[in-house]
Structure 1
Amino acid sequence: MNNSVTVAEIKRRGMAAIEEGLRRGPVHIIKRNKSAAVVLSEAEYLRLTGKGPSVAPGMTALQWLLTQPSAGTREKDDIDATLAEERNW
Protein backbone atom coordinates (compact mmCIF):
# COMPACT_ATOMS: atom_id res chain seq x y z
CA MET A 1 0.00 0.00 0.00
CA ASN A 2 1.99 2.91 -1.24
CA ASN A 3 -0.84 5.44 -0.84
CA SER A 4 -1.43 5.21 2.87
CA VAL A 5 -1.56 7.50 5.87
CA THR A 6 -1.36 6.58 9.54
CA VAL A 7 -3.86 7.61 12.17
CA ALA A 8 -1.05 9.46 13.94
CA GLU A 9 -0.39 11.53 10.80
CA ILE A 10 -4.10 12.34 10.48
CA LYS A 11 -4.12 13.49 14.11
CA ARG A 12 -1.07 15.65 13.44
CA ARG A 13 -1.97 17.09 10.00
CA GLY A 14 -5.73 16.66 9.90
CA MET A 15 -7.68 16.58 6.65
CA ALA A 16 -4.66 17.89 4.72
CA ALA A 17 -2.99 14.48 5.05
CA ILE A 18 -6.01 12.75 3.48
CA GLU A 19 -6.51 15.37 0.76
CA GLU A 20 -2.87 15.06 -0.27
CA GLY A 21 -3.21 11.30 -0.60
CA LEU A 22 -6.48 11.54 -2.55
CA ARG A 23 -4.62 13.30 -5.35
CA ARG A 24 -2.98 9.92 -6.00
CA GLY A 25 -6.13 7.81 -5.59
CA PRO A 26 -7.79 5.98 -2.69
CA VAL A 27 -6.05 6.46 0.66
CA HIS A 28 -5.53 3.53 3.02
CA ILE A 29 -5.78 4.50 6.69
CA ILE A 30 -3.28 2.56 8.82
CA LYS A 31 -4.07 1.94 12.49
CA ARG A 32 -1.74 -0.14 14.65
CA ASN A 33 0.19 -1.27 11.56
CA LYS A 34 -2.96 -2.67 9.92
CA SER A 35 -5.17 -1.27 7.20
CA ALA A 36 -8.28 0.00 8.98
CA ALA A 37 -10.15 1.92 6.29
CA VAL A 38 -9.98 3.30 2.78
CA VAL A 39 -10.95 6.86 1.90
CA LEU A 40 -12.27 7.52 -1.61
CA SER A 41 -12.94 10.75 -3.42
CA GLU A 42 -16.61 11.66 -3.76
CA ALA A 43 -16.47 11.10 -7.51
CA GLU A 44 -14.99 7.61 -7.09
CA TYR A 45 -17.55 6.70 -4.43
CA LEU A 46 -20.44 7.79 -6.67
CA ARG A 47 -18.97 5.84 -9.57
CA LEU A 48 -18.65 2.66 -7.49
CA THR A 49 -22.13 2.90 -6.01
CA GLY A 50 -23.71 3.68 -9.36
CA LYS A 51 -25.21 6.91 -8.04
CA GLY A 52 -23.04 9.19 -10.09
CA PRO A 53 -23.65 10.50 -13.56
CA SER A 54 -23.28 7.85 -16.22
CA VAL A 55 -21.09 9.74 -18.64
CA ALA A 56 -19.17 7.79 -21.24
CA PRO A 57 -15.98 9.30 -22.64
CA GLY A 58 -16.80 11.51 -25.60
CA MET A 59 -20.51 11.68 -24.75
CA THR A 60 -22.14 15.00 -25.58
CA ALA A 61 -24.58 16.75 -23.27
CA LEU A 62 -27.45 15.91 -25.63
CA GLN A 63 -26.48 12.22 -25.73
CA TRP A 64 -26.34 12.15 -21.92
CA LEU A 65 -29.71 13.87 -21.66
CA LEU A 66 -31.33 11.36 -23.99
CA THR A 67 -30.08 8.45 -21.84
CA GLN A 68 -31.80 9.77 -18.70
CA PRO A 69 -35.05 8.11 -17.63
CA SER A 70 -38.13 10.28 -17.83
CA ALA A 71 -39.37 11.39 -14.44
CA GLY A 72 -42.50 13.23 -15.48
CA THR A 73 -46.02 11.88 -15.24
CA ARG A 74 -47.85 14.54 -17.28
CA GLU A 75 -48.98 13.94 -20.83
CA LYS A 76 -47.89 16.21 -23.67
CA ASP A 77 -51.47 17.45 -24.24
CA ASP A 78 -51.75 18.48 -20.57
CA ILE A 79 -48.48 20.40 -20.73
CA ASP A 80 -49.49 22.10 -23.99
CA ALA A 81 -52.85 23.14 -22.48
CA THR A 82 -51.17 24.57 -19.38
CA LEU A 83 -48.69 26.54 -21.50
CA ALA A 84 -51.49 27.87 -23.71
CA GLU A 85 -53.36 29.11 -20.61
CA GLU A 86 -50.24 30.81 -19.29
CA ARG A 87 -49.68 32.57 -22.62
CA ASN A 88 -53.26 33.91 -22.79
CA TRP A 89 -52.94 36.55 -20.09
Structure 2
Amino acid sequence: MTALIGLGWMDEAACLTVPELPWIGPRRGQPLDPGALEQMTQTCDHCPVLNQCRHYVDQAAVSAGFWAGAWRHLSPDARVEDAAGGQVA
Protein backbone atom coordinates (compact mmCIF):
# COMPACT_ATOMS: atom_id res chain seq x y z
CA MET A 1 0.00 0.00 0.00
CA THR A 2 1.32 3.44 -0.94
CA ALA A 3 1.56 6.00 1.86
CA LEU A 4 -0.53 9.11 1.43
CA ILE A 5 1.28 12.36 0.76
CA GLY A 6 1.50 14.81 3.64
CA LEU A 7 -1.25 17.35 4.07
CA GLY A 8 0.84 20.47 4.71
CA TRP A 9 0.21 21.61 1.14
CA MET A 10 -3.42 22.23 2.07
CA ASP A 11 -2.34 25.34 3.99
CA GLU A 12 -1.64 26.97 0.61
CA ALA A 13 -4.87 25.88 -1.08
CA ALA A 14 -6.76 28.67 -2.84
CA CYS A 15 -10.09 27.27 -1.63
CA LEU A 16 -9.20 28.43 1.88
CA THR A 17 -9.61 32.02 0.68
CA VAL A 18 -13.29 31.48 -0.22
CA PRO A 19 -14.75 29.27 2.53
CA GLU A 20 -18.27 30.52 1.79
CA LEU A 21 -18.40 28.44 -1.40
CA PRO A 22 -20.11 25.01 -1.22
CA TRP A 23 -16.95 22.87 -1.49
CA ILE A 24 -18.74 19.88 -0.01
CA GLY A 25 -21.91 20.50 -2.03
CA PRO A 26 -25.12 22.49 -1.63
CA ARG A 27 -27.57 21.90 1.18
CA ARG A 28 -29.75 18.84 0.71
CA GLY A 29 -32.57 19.54 -1.71
CA GLN A 30 -31.04 22.77 -2.97
CA PRO A 31 -29.60 23.15 -6.48
CA LEU A 32 -26.01 24.25 -6.80
CA ASP A 33 -25.70 27.85 -7.90
CA PRO A 34 -23.98 27.88 -11.34
CA GLY A 35 -22.12 31.05 -10.30
CA ALA A 36 -20.66 29.25 -7.29
CA LEU A 37 -19.61 26.34 -9.49
CA GLU A 38 -17.86 28.73 -11.87
CA GLN A 39 -16.11 30.49 -9.00
CA MET A 40 -14.96 27.17 -7.51
CA THR A 41 -13.64 26.04 -10.90
CA GLN A 42 -11.72 29.29 -11.36
CA THR A 43 -10.36 29.09 -7.83
CA CYS A 44 -9.00 25.61 -8.50
CA ASP A 45 -7.64 26.61 -11.92
CA HIS A 46 -5.43 29.23 -10.24
CA CYS A 47 -4.56 27.25 -7.13
CA PRO A 48 -0.83 26.98 -6.36
CA VAL A 49 -1.27 23.43 -5.04
CA LEU A 50 -3.60 22.03 -7.72
CA ASN A 51 -1.20 19.21 -8.62
CA GLN A 52 -0.82 18.14 -4.99
CA CYS A 53 -4.60 18.22 -4.63
CA ARG A 54 -5.07 15.98 -7.68
CA HIS A 55 -2.47 13.58 -6.37
CA TYR A 56 -4.09 13.47 -2.94
CA VAL A 57 -7.57 12.90 -4.38
CA ASP A 58 -6.28 9.94 -6.38
CA GLN A 59 -4.31 8.46 -3.49
CA ALA A 60 -7.01 8.93 -0.88
CA ALA A 61 -9.84 7.86 -3.20
CA VAL A 62 -11.81 10.97 -2.23
CA SER A 63 -15.46 10.37 -3.05
CA ALA A 64 -17.19 13.58 -2.01
CA GLY A 65 -16.83 17.30 -2.53
CA PHE A 66 -15.26 19.57 -5.10
CA TRP A 67 -11.54 18.72 -5.29
CA ALA A 68 -8.91 19.67 -7.86
CA GLY A 69 -11.46 21.38 -10.08
CA ALA A 70 -14.07 18.63 -10.26
CA TRP A 71 -16.89 17.05 -8.26
CA ARG A 72 -15.88 13.76 -6.73
CA HIS A 73 -19.49 12.88 -6.09
CA LEU A 74 -22.68 14.83 -6.60
CA SER A 75 -25.90 13.40 -5.30
CA PRO A 76 -29.00 13.52 -7.54
CA ASP A 77 -30.59 16.19 -5.34
CA ALA A 78 -27.60 18.55 -5.76
CA ARG A 79 -27.87 19.20 -9.48
CA VAL A 80 -26.91 22.51 -11.02
CA GLU A 81 -29.68 24.41 -12.74
CA ASP A 82 -28.82 26.57 -15.71
CA ALA A 83 -30.48 29.92 -16.45
CA ALA A 84 -33.32 28.18 -18.32
CA GLY A 85 -34.03 25.95 -15.33
CA GLY A 86 -32.58 22.83 -16.92
CA GLN A 87 -30.20 20.60 -15.01
CA VAL A 88 -26.62 20.69 -16.24
CA ALA A 89 -24.64 18.66 -13.72
Give the shorter-chain TM-score range.
Answer: under 0.3
Please give the TM-score of this superposition, normalised by the length of structure 1.
0.23
| Structure with bigger gyration radius | 1
Greater RCO, CA 8 A, separation 6+: 2
Please give the TM-score of this superposition, normalised by the length of structure 2.
0.23
